[in-house]
Every structure is written in C-alpha cells, then in structure tokens.
Amino acid sequence: MKKLLTKLFTTITCTLVIALTTLLPVTAADATFDLGKNLYSTNYIFLDADTGQVLSAKKQDEQISIASLTKMMTVLLAIENSSSLNQTVTITDEMIDGLYDEQASVAGYINGDTATLLDLCYAAAVPSAADAANALAIQIGGSFEKFYQMMNDKAAQLGMDHTVFKSAHGLDRDGQYSTVEDISKLLRYALQNPTFKEIFSTKEYTTQATAYYPFGIPLASTIWAYADTYGYNLTNLSGGKTGYTLQAGRCIAYWATVNDMTIIAVTAGASTNVEQYSNLSDAQTVLTSLASWQKKTILKSNDVVSTIEYKSFMHTANIDVKMDKDITLDLPANVECTYEVDLPKKFSAELYDQNIQATITFTADNKNIYTKTISITLPQEKNIFGRIILHLQNFIKG
C-alpha cells in the first residue's frame, strides 16, 4: 500500500510546469533603455509586437488628440465588416462636405465618382485621405454616427479604455481622444490581419479611374514620400500611419523589424518648430537606437526556476517548477538580464487543487524591465486518511 501511494504521489508531482497567464510589462528608467531620449514627441510607447514587452514609454496613458492615426481604426473596420473589398461605392456630397473648409487631406473624389472599398482603404491609409475615410464610414456604418459607434465598440473590445472616436478621419473634435498606449493596442491587433498589413505597408498605389483622373488617382505614402524627400533613413520601418493637426502635433504609428525584433511604435505631440516632419525624425532616431538592441533568451523551456517542498499525508517531495516555453526579451546588446521568482517554498496538500499565483521579475542594470504573473496548480490530497483528517480540521475550524 505504501509503495502504491508513493508511486501515485511521484507521478503527479515529478514535474510542475508554469502556466503564463498575465503580462505585466515594466519599463526601465535608465537612459540605456530609454528609446524616447532626444525625441520631439511628448508621448510615446515602444513595444515588442510578439511578446508585448514595453521597451520604453512616456505619458503613454495621457488622453490626447491622435489626428489621422484614427484612420487605422476606420480601415480596419472596413476590412472586417465587408463581404468583399471589390464592392463599389458611389461618392456623395455628404462624404466630402466641409473637408475642404477644414483643409483636410483628400484624395480628390467628387460627387458621383465610384470607387471600390479597396481603393478607399488605400486612399485613407496611404496619403491619409479624409474623403475616403468618410466614404468608408457611411458605406460600412450606414451613417456617420453608427460608424462612430462601431469604432468605439471595437475600441472597447480591444481594451482601449481611454479612447473615444467622434470622426472617421481624425480631425480635431471636442470629446475625441485616445492615448499612444491604446493606439499600440489597436495596431498590434490589426497587424494580425494580412489585408490591413499590406495596405499600411504600401508606398504607392493607383486607384481605378474617376471623373478627374481617367488613369486613376495616384497615391503616395505620407511616410516614405516625405522620408525620401527630406532624407530620413527609415530602412527598417515596415509600415504605418502618420497624423497631424494643430492640436495633436506630429504623430506616427508604425511597426519595424530590427535584429529579429518586430517593434510597434506610437509617438505623438511632436512640435514642428524645429523640424517640419518631426515625427519622421523621431522614427529615424528610434530605429537608429534599436540597432544596438537584440532578442535574448532569458529562460528556456524546461528550465527549472524554483523548487517547491510539497507535503501530503504519506509523503513529502521536492517539485521542480519548470518553464513551459522560452522567454525572450528585447535588450541592449551589452546588457545582461537576471530574474527572481516570488513563490512560497512549502505547500501542504489540501482537499482541492490549489491554484497558486506567483511572479517572475526580470531585471537588467538594476532595473525591473519585465514581470510575468504565473499560475501554478498543485494537486489535491489523494490519500483517503489524509482527506478525512483535512475534513475534520476544516470542521473544527468552523
């Protein structure tokens, strides 16, 4: 009997694997880690697209105007809520009314033009055309107000808790705001959609013919057209969206691949007093800094990170707590990372499985750079006599 119980206990306790459940990124404050150093932007966030690790952030949860970064949500909803992007849309006065008065960027559609949803998506994304964004809003939502509700519903779904949309194009409106952190959530989600990714990484595109453009409307990216003109080196930048209003300043949301890291960046509030395209200058600065960063594997699958003494009625055993997957972090090349596990060392079996919460804190240069919450399940007492004793103890306790 004793041998059987020992074998049973050994079977259920020989290996305990960590289940990673909640991500709690922590940003190091040291200048080595500060990708926002020397930027024009007042608000920024930089994170790993795969892991969600925040590399650097400042005023990331401050509610601000985001200008044409809004169009990322507009295009995303058009893609997700249409049966075919080849569907034809007829441009109406409602879609373009007031845009010229507000000096909005437009593709040049006029009343009576026809365009596919795909052309409108490219026009809204590539040159940041407000007329295309409005056309998408009415076609997909049925009205502006219904589409704005769709935008806000999607924002809530994505956990964009500090965002309210009141336009499809992003021109300044009272009560309309977001944060760079919320926009990073939007972009990280949207990049899972291959159509969105293709549209927002396009440098040039030509629409179908219109009344004024018999050969189609030529569209040029607001990122690469100005980068090429003014000499910004954005070689590693894969795609994104710029924005500008007087209230928002220069903004940009983009993704880039550097040294096997896929980085999502959102910057906002850049002044134009020194450089006209300060958002592109900031992108160049960040990409240059990232060249000295790399992915580092801190923990590998099956690495033992802690040992628990687990006591049951008949037996006490040491259980190795092992990782179920590799943990990789983005770090400057010359920086080493260590970790510490906050987990009690001793547990006793109970009547039911125990779900234990603990944390692994990763540290580099004496700064916490990343924290993961872990969930561990310990098996219940199996021995019948042990269970009787536990029931009696619980009864006595009341």
Burial class (CB in 10 A: 0-12, 13-18, 19+), 356: middle
Task: Please give the pLDDT value at position 32.
Answer: 60
Domain count, the chain: 2
Residues in CB range of 150: below 8 A, 6 or more apart = 77, 81, 140, 141
pLDDT, tens digit, for every residue of 279-318? 999 999 999 999 999 999 999 988 888 888 878 777 787 8
Q: What is the CATH number of the domain that holds 344?
A: 2.60.410
Task: Please give the pLDDT value at position 398.
Answer: 66
Task: Please give the pLDDT value at position 313.
Answer: 73
Binding site annotation covers 241? yes
The verdict on 107 and 203 lying in the same domain is: yes
The verdict on 82 and 148 lying in the same domain is: yes
Count of beta carbons in the 10 Å neighbourhood of residue 238: 15
Structural domain contains residue 18: no
Catalytic residue IDs: 68, 71, 128
Is residue 262 within a helix (H) or strand (E), and if so which, with residue range? strand 261-270
The verdict on 371 and 254 lying in the same domain is: no
Whole-angstrom Cα distance, residue 382 to residue 350?
A: 9
Task: Please give the pLDDT value at position 6.
Answer: 41
Q: Which residues of the chain fall below pLDDT 50?
A: 1-31
Count of beta carbons in the 10 Å neighbourhood of residue 207: 24
The verdict on 271 and 330 lying in the same domain is: no
Residue ranges making up the domain that contains 190: 43-291
Task: Please give the pLDDT value at position 210.
Answer: 95
Q: Among the three residues 246, 276, 291, which one is the final residue of a domain in this structure?
A: 291
**pTM for this one?**
0.85
Structural domain contains residue 302: yes
Query: Angle between the 117-125 and 70-80 helix axes, to the nearest 10 degrees?
Result: 160
The verdict on 62 and 159 lying in the same domain is: yes
Torsion angle, alpha carbons of 190, 283, 171, 60, to 10? 70
Structural domain contains residue 35: no
The verdict on 362 and 244 lying in the same domain is: no
Structural domain contains residue 11: no
Task: Please give the pLDDT value at position 8.
Answer: 38
Task: Read off the DSSP letter of residue 177.
Answer: B
Task: Please give the pLDDT value at position 29.
Answer: 38
